[in-house]
């Protein structure tokens, strides 16, 4: 599941995300002025955007607002304000108030702020927002911003939040001696960010601070009319909207992107069917761990491709572990089926919790049938491939599994464990409520109890292991899940990075324990989303948000003895929900953005291909694939209407993955409702499909 697949935002969550924004998106990227950092940490950015965008308020992205305009990227707002060198007694003018967000930040530093907006609708809304927030030292004026407000001049600082063809002379004249003007200037889709300092009555100094992208500055001393501005600045539907108010990379990236599709076409290895694809992926068969990603959680081609590669690795190369992004107790039901073991008593039906379609679909059912058949040809039980869940969400089922085990091997210990786990009873159905309770009360109510239950189990490891080693390993893992889940549901309220890192660390630790349990010669195939499989240190996840993942941890642990393989698609259909715990829908996937790796892969003109991106690829291709571009991630939730914000992040493909598997057009997995099986064992074991 991706970062979007999370609990709804709350007021406290916004405050925490604001603090994370200041530390990770601003301070960590060089914003050092304590007045700017303090102001950015006070102003609630969620108050300046529509309700459906509030959950993205503290992403480092420009967001759409009314009148077809945008609220700028937080980093560029902070950067431009820092360049103004503000002091608490300053008189400030802002041109292009937009939502009123920058004016609000300025007002938390300066003595007085006057902001001009040329859109009457935006001016009225911004004025209302500032009044509601009680920022009474800032005023919003509906006027031509290029003329400034001479009645309130001179200004110690002027901020222009729109790109003009030149620096307006009127604004320069309204600067105080020593005053600073920060403005984007240029006639291309990108402008140059300039700082002008007035050094005397008729003298000024200019400094260049790099390329930015802003909406055009319309007015008497800017672009004459919106139509002219769009034509002369080459702004079109692709570069307007979300792109405005962004710090942009070097312009050479545009040229590299143009050539990248040709390089991909030359280096790619096309395949006609999945057996051919499996043969291409076989080059990684000597690795201890092969991690297979997916760009969505609901695409048939991704499941089928991973299945065919996995079957080859199991049949020919001794892989005996299939470890997936799924709950441990539910996966054990599938494991029992493929290895011919007794069916676990818990859970009664596997994978009936949202999102059911991830592991209860036709593609998985066919794979399990084929994997069972392969296992039946392997005489050594230790070499049969098992199916294991790595995830941390199964709080209730894991508690039940531990108690079932202890009832059988140690009834006295079972009674004690019931008392300890009883602490979590009120929240077993909705464990996120436990995290909210722990946050509001200021302490971890159940941490000691669940930790004690795990410690007791481990202290009796030898005794229990002698009775039934494999059953003990299952019980131990479930006890670890309960302890991990208790912590996870607490930290999920402290920001995405903490909960994300805890979850991926748990999944990786589980993988290592399974490898140890299955013996020194064990080899594993991992199925998880690209966002978990690709090395996070070469993506926005790691560089900006401070997140790590299974792929990064695997590289750190196994080095060259692991392979990370990502998947991509341009368009088609996908099984996903619109909201957490919502019904499954078959949604149309939008064609990928041109400035993404998916867009460059599509333009290579090959329907399906395998592209090695790691050390086995030519240096020239790897270098070209090291230019940061966007990459799409669709989890169990897909929101096409906010796709750029919800589902794209920046990445470096040739460092993130060792290979990239591409399908231009894809279809949703075959899945349906499971309510008929929620109350008891499946009629058709193991899926009941």
Lowest-pLDDT choice from 86-95, 215-224, 399-408, 516-525: 215-224
Lowest-pLDDT choice from 140-154, 242-256, 292-306, 504-518: 242-256
pLDDT at 521: 93
Whether 255 and 624 have beta carbons less than 8 Å apart is answered as no
pLDDT of 471 higher than 90: no
pLDDT in tens, 167-191: 999 999 999 999 999 999 987 656 8
What number is the average pLDDT over the span 337-343?
Answer: 95
DSSP annotation string for 417-472: HHHHHGGGGGGSS-HHHHHHHHHHHTS-TTHHHHHHHHHHHHHTHHHHHHH-HHHH
- Number of other CB atoms surrounding residue 645 within 10 Å: 18
pLDDT at 687: 66
pLDDT in tens, 551-597: 999 999 999 999 999 999 999 999 999 988 899 999 999 999 988 99
Percent of the residues in the chain that have a pLDDT greater than 70, as a whole number: 86
Residue ranges per structural domain of the chain: 11-248
pLDDT at 420: 85
pLDDT range class, residue 51, cuts 50, 70, 90: confident
pLDDT in tens, 450-461: 888 888 888 887
pLDDT in tens, 27-38: 878 899 999 999
Span 11-248 CATH architecture: 3-Layer(aba) Sandwich (3.40)
The structure tokens listed for 157 are: 């600082």
Active site residues: 72
pLDDT at 9: 43
Give the whole-angstrom CA distance, residue 190 versus residue 211: 6
DSSP annotation string for 577-612: BSSTTPPPEEEEEPPPPTTBHHHHHHTTT-SEEEEE
- Label residues 602-620 b or e (16+ Cβ within 10 Å = b): bbbebebbbbbbbeebeee
Pair type for strands 204-213 and 191-198: antiparallel
pLDDT at 254: 41
What number is the average pLDDT over the span 44-52?
Answer: 92
pLDDT at 437: 56
pLDDT at 11: 55
Pair type for strands 138-142 and 112-117: parallel
Whether 656 and 305 have beta carbons less than 8 Å apart is answered as no
DSSP-based three-state secondary structure for 277: helix
pLDDT in tens, 261-303: 999 999 999 999 999 999 999 999 999 999 999 999 999 999 9
pLDDT at 235: 40
Give the whole-angstrom CA distance, residue 662 versus residue 658: 14
pLDDT in tens, 90-136: 999 999 999 999 999 999 999 999 999 999 999 999 999 999 999 99
pLDDT of 3 higher than 60: no
Give the whole-angstrom CA distance, residue 57 versus residue 21: 10
- Label residues 500-519 b or e (16+ Cβ within 10 Å = b): bbbbbbbbbebbeebbebbe
């Amino acid at each position: 599941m991706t970062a979007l697949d999370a609990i709804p935002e709350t007021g406290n969550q916004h405050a925490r995300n604001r603090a994370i924004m200041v530390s990770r998106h601003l301070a960590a990227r060089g914003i050092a002025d304590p007045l700017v950092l303090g102001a950015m940490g006070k102003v609630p950015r969620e108050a300046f955007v529509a309700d459906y965008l509030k959950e993205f308020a503290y992403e480092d992205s420009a967001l759409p607002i009314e009148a077809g305009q945008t609220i700028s990227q937080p980093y560029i707002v902070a950067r431009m304000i820092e360049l103004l060198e503000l002091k608490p007694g300053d008189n400030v003018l802002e041109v292009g108030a937009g939502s009123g967000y920058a004016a609000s930040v300025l007002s938390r530093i300066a003595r007085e702020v006057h902001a001009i907006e040329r859109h009457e609708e935006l001016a009225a809304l911004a004025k209302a927002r500032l009044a509601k927030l009680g920022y009474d030292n800032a005023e919003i004026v509906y006027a031509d911003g290029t003329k400034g407000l001479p009645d309130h001049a001179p200004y110690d600082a002027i901020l222009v939040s729109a790109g003009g063809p030149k620096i307006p002379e009127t604004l320069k004249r309204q600067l105080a001696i020593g005053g600073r003007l920060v403005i984007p200037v240029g006639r291309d889709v990108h402008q140059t960010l300039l700082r002008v300092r007035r050094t005397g009555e008729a003298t000024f100094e200019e400094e260049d601070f790099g390329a930015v992208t802003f909406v055009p500055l319309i007015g008497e001393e800017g672009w004459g009319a919106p139509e002219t501005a769009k034509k002369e600045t080459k702004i079109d539907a692709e570069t307007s909207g979300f792109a405005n108010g962004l710090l942009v990379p070097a312009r050479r990236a545009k040229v590299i992107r143009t050539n990248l599709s040709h390089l991909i076409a030359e280096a790619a290895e096309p395949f006609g069917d999945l057996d051919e694809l499996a043969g291409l992926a076989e080059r990684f068969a000597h690795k201890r761990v092969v991690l297979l990603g997916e760009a969505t959680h609901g695409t048939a081609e991704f499941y089928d491709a991973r299945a065919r590669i996995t079957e080859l690795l199991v049949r020919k190369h001794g892989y005996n572990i299939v470890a997936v992004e799924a709950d441990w107790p539910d996966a054990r039901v599938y494991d029992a089926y493929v290895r011919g073991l007794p069916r676990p008593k818990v859970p009664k039906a596997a994978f009936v919790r949202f999102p059911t379609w991830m592991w209860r679909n036709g593609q998985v059912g066919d794979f399990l049938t084929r994997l069972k058949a392969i296992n039946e040809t392997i005489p050594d039980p230790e070499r049969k491939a098992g199916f294991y869940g790595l995830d941390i969400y199964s709080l209730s089922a894991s508690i039940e599994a531990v108690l079932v085990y202890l009832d059988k091997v140690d009834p006295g210990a079972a009674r004690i464990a019931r008392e300890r786990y009883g602490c979590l009873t009120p929240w077993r159905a909705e464990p996120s409520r436990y995290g909210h309770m722990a946050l509001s009360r200021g302490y971890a109510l159940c941490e000691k109890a669940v930790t004690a239950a795990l410690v007791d189990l481990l202290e009796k490891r030898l005794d229990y292991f002698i009775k039934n080693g494999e059953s003990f390993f299952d019980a131990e893992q479930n006890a670890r899940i309960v302890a991990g889940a208790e912590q996870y549901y607490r930290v999920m309220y402290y920001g995405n990075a903490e909960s994300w890192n805890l979850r991926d660390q748990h999944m990786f630790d589980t993988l290592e324990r399974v490898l140890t349990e299955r013996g020194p010669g064990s080899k594993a195939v991992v199925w998880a989303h690209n966002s978990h499989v690709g090395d996070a240190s070469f993506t926005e996840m790691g560089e900006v948000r401070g997140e790590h993942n299974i792929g990064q941890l695997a590289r750190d642990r196994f080095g060259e003895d692991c392979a990370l393989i990502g998947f991509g698609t341009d368009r088609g259909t996908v099984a996903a929900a619109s909201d957490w715990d919502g019904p499954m829908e078959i949604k149309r996937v939008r064609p990928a953005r041109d400035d993404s790796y998916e867009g460059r892969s599509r333009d290579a003109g090959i329907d399906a291909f395998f592209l090695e991106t790691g050390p086995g690829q030519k240096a020239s291709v790897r270098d070209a694939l090291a230019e940061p571009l966007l990459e799409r991630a669709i989890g169990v939730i897909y929101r096409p209407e906010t796709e750029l914000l919800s589902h794209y992040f920046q990445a470096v493909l040739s460092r993130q993955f060792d290979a990239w598997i591409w399908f231009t057009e894809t279809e949703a997995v075959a899945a349906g409702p499971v309510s008929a099986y929620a109350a008891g064992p499946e009629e058709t074991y193991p899926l009941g499909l």
